[in-house]
A and B are shown apart, each in its own frame.
Chain A
Amino acid sequence: AQKITQTQPGMFVQEKEAVTLDCTYDTSDQSYGLFWYKQPSSGEMIFLIYQGSYDEQNATEGRYSLNFQKARKSANLVISASQLGDSAMYFCAMSLNAGGTSYGKLTFGQGTILTVHP
């Protein structure tokens, strides 16, 4: 069974600075995908970035990058140049590229609340 751990319940960052949100995962599968989602106070779930287990390059999407360290089983999210609108809950998630009952199942971490100070 897969497991995602986010050890930072809350993080604070100054506007325009960079911040790293930690995520570690546990699976015995070799093929998997790692995802980050943002949930603002309005409640919707917004997809941010994806990393496949076989991808050699770290994923980047605008100000978001995923620091993927396969041997350490970590998939940290880096947000550069933080903005006030980045204040939200952030979830790390994993999906196995497997058939059967794991098909497409996203397993989520506990989430990290990010607060950006002006």
Chain B
Amino acid sequence: DTAVSQTPKYLVTQMGNDKSIKCEQNLGHDTMYWYKQDSKKFLKIMFSYNNKELIINETVPNRFSPKSPDKAHLNLHINSLELGDSAVYFCASSPDGGWFWQFFGPGTRLTVL
């Protein structure tokens, strides 16, 4: 049973398109996150949700919009994709914010051509 799952695993698309990445966790956690890992392997938080409420919104372009229909799901929609959006996107979850370690999904490798 996968704890944190993401679909799709790979996403190749053209510049200007709109795409979504889905994330689901079956751990019963209250908090979910989106991280971006760039080509230099640097990881940076984008968003976090606690019980469907947006908590963290780092300096991310408005083209990125997270949506949490329930506390087990956190989807990421990206409008008007740009070359610089190419990266690996990780979803993660934790029982709560603060000191709990986060369980990461397998990642979605997005390539924008």
Interface of A toward B, CB cutoff 8 Å: 32-33, 35, 37, 39, 43-47, 50, 52, 89, 91, 93, 95-98, 101-108, 110-111
A95 and B42 within 8 A (CB): no
B90 and A45 within 8 A (CB): yes
Q: For residue B96, which residues in chain A have a CB less than 8 angstroms away from its CB?
A: 104
A97 and B98 within 8 A (CB): yes
B107 and A104 within 8 A (CB): no
Q: For residue B40, which residues in chain A have a CB less than 8 angstroms away from its CB?
A: 110
Interface of B toward A, CB cutoff 8 Å: 31, 33, 35, 40-45, 48, 50, 55-57, 88, 90, 92, 94, 96-104, 106-107, 109
A33 and B99 within 8 A (CB): yes
Closest Cβ of chain B: how far from A92's Cβ, in Å? Answer: 11
A104 and B88 within 8 A (CB): no
* A–B Cβ pairs within 8 angstroms, 28 of them: A32-B99, A33-B98, A33-B99, A33-B100, A43-B88, A44-B106, A44-B107, A45-B92, A45-B107, A47-B103, A50-B101, A89-B41, A91-B43, A93-B43, A96-B98, A98-B98, A101-B56, A103-B50, A104-B48, A104-B94, A104-B97, A105-B45, A105-B97, A106-B33, A106-B43, A106-B92, A107-B45, A110-B40
Q: Is the contact region of chain A dominated by helix, strand, or loop, or is it mixed?
A: strand
- Which of these, B44, B55, B57, B109, contacts A104 with CB under 8 Å? B55
A45 and B42 within 8 A (CB): no
B43 and A95 within 8 A (CB): no
Bound complex: CA A110 to CA B56 (Å): 21
With A33-B99, A43-B88: A104-B31 Cβ-Cβ less than 8 Å: yes
A95 and B45 within 8 A (CB): no
- Which of these, A44, A45, A52, A101, contacts B99 with CB under 8 Å? A52
- Which of these, B35, B41, B45, B101, contacts A111 with CB under 8 Å? B41
Q: For residue B97, which residues in chain A have a CB less than 8 angstroms away from its CB?
A: 95, 103-105
A97 and B104 within 8 A (CB): no
Q: For residue B56, which residues in chain A have a CB less than 8 angstroms away from its CB?
A: 101-105
Closest B residue to A111 using CB positions: B41
Bound complex: CA A96 to CA B44 (Å): 15
Q: For residue A98, which residues in chain B have a CB less than 8 angstroms away from its CB?
A: 98
